[in-house]
Amino acid sequence: MSDLVKEQGASRSDDCPPCPGKPVLERIDARQAEIGKGFIVRRAVPSKARRMVGAWCFLDHAGPVAHGPGEGLKVGPHPHIGLQTFTWMIEGEGLHRDSLGYEQIIRPGQVNLMTAGRGIAHSEESPHDGAGRLHAAQLWIALPDSERHREPAFHHYPDLPVIERGGFTVTLLAGEALGQTAPAQVFSPLVGLDLTSRGAASTRLPLEPGFEHAVMCLRGSARVEGEVVEPGMLLYLGQGRDTVEIGCDGEAQLLLVGGEPFAEDILVWWNFVARTPEEIRTATENWNAGRGFGEVKGTPLAPLKAPSLAGLSIKG
């Protein structure tokens, strides 16, 4: 889903305020884009205010939307390097195909984790005739320098740890929390949680104080440390918190992400996470020439072409 909103300029992680090293409450508006009929994507990270939360370097909230026959998700083959794509399906289904030969349907409550490493290509489409509801979060995790040239991999996680707490159903998407460990294979200290309530709920969740954290509201409305959160914004919590207080008066769904502040500066352009413009140039030229990423077999969709490298302008 990531590629539907074209990013022309590169995003540099050292181009925004560093992790403040203490608790803060920063409200950050997500950018909104309509990618096909009524299909809204809200991009909370990267933004001018925050390029990363730990190793999480891309937070997209897609939908909810009701697609008619022939509509739905249609993202043709495209490449990635230097990151993991992390898909959390809330409603509907998505069909993933990649250049390693994996073909996997993801359903609500499941995670697809694709580790691009040195390079992979994939497509994402709605299965069947595309009709039905779709609601998902697609997140990227930057790989640290020591891991970013590793072999590509794909994992599907159908069962995640679920904990009931204070009226919330807490699903552990990544990392460790509440005495549980998520199965997703990640390469830096981080955490991801989904909190869903059917009615009023309230809890104080323990946090790792060495992490920075942020909360995105996916549905309904809630309060986080007294701040009202709704879809379309990110509440950045800073670092150094032992706990976070979360409550709501009715149905709500929240995504909480956190991680050790990422020690390396990264460069994000199109679907690539790199360190230098030269790496991005090479990856782009390779993709456009059909080199180095392999072929995504079985998809009816045409491969995406990289945007012009002229957009790869790096501000000093």
Residues found near Mn ion in the complex (CB under 5 A): 2
Q: Across the strands, what pairs with 159? A: none
Least gap, CB of 104 to Mn ion (angstroms): 14
Q: Which is nearer to Mn ion, 2 or 196 (CB)?
A: 2
- The one-character DSSP state at 278 is H
Least gap, CB of 265 to Mn ion (angstroms): 22
Q: Across the strands, what pairs with 103? A: 97
The three-state DSSP-derived secondary structure of 10-22 is CEEHHHCCCCCCC
Residue 63's identity, in one-letter code, is G
Least gap, CB of 15 to Mn ion (angstroms): 23
Q: Which is nearer to Mn ion, 123 or 196 (CB)?
A: 123
Least gap, CB of 173 to Mn ion (angstroms): 18
Least gap, CB of 96 to Mn ion (angstroms): 9
Token pair 């195909």 is found at: 97
Least gap, CB of 297 to Mn ion (angstroms): 17
For residue 246 the two structure tokens come to 């979360």
For residue 243 the two structure tokens come to 């706990």
> For residues 132 and 118, what is the distance between their CA atoms, to the nearest angstrom?
35
> For residues 40 and 71, what is the distance between their CA atoms, to the nearest angstrom?
14
Least gap, CB of 98 to Mn ion (angstroms): 9
Q: Which is nearer to Mn ion, 6 or 48 (CB)?
A: 6
> For residues 196 and 164, what is the distance between their CA atoms, to the nearest angstrom?
10
Least gap, CB of 188 to Mn ion (angstroms): 20
Q: Which is nearer to Mn ion, 2 or 253 (CB)?
A: 2
Q: Which is nearer to Mn ion, 2 or 110 (CB)?
A: 2
Angle at Cα 270 formed by Cα 268 and Cα 274, nearest 5°?
35
Residue whose Cβ sits closest to Mn ion: 2
Q: Which is nearer to Mn ion, 77 or 258 (CB)?
A: 77
Map residue 219 onto helix, strand or coil. strand
Q: Which is nearer to Mn ion, 83 or 244 (CB)?
A: 83
Task: Tell me whether residue 221 is exposed, middle or buried, using C-beta atoms within 10 angstroms of its C-beta: 0 to 12, 13 to 18, 19 or more.
Answer: middle
- DSSP calls for 58-115: EEEEEEEEEEPTT-S-EEEEEEEBSEEEEEEEEES-EEEEETTS-EEEE-TT-EEEEE
Q: Which is nearer to Mn ion, 5 or 24 (CB)?
A: 5
Q: Which is nearer to Mn ion, 64 or 76 (CB)?
A: 76
What backbone phi and psi angles, to 5 degrees, belong to 57? Answer: -120, 5
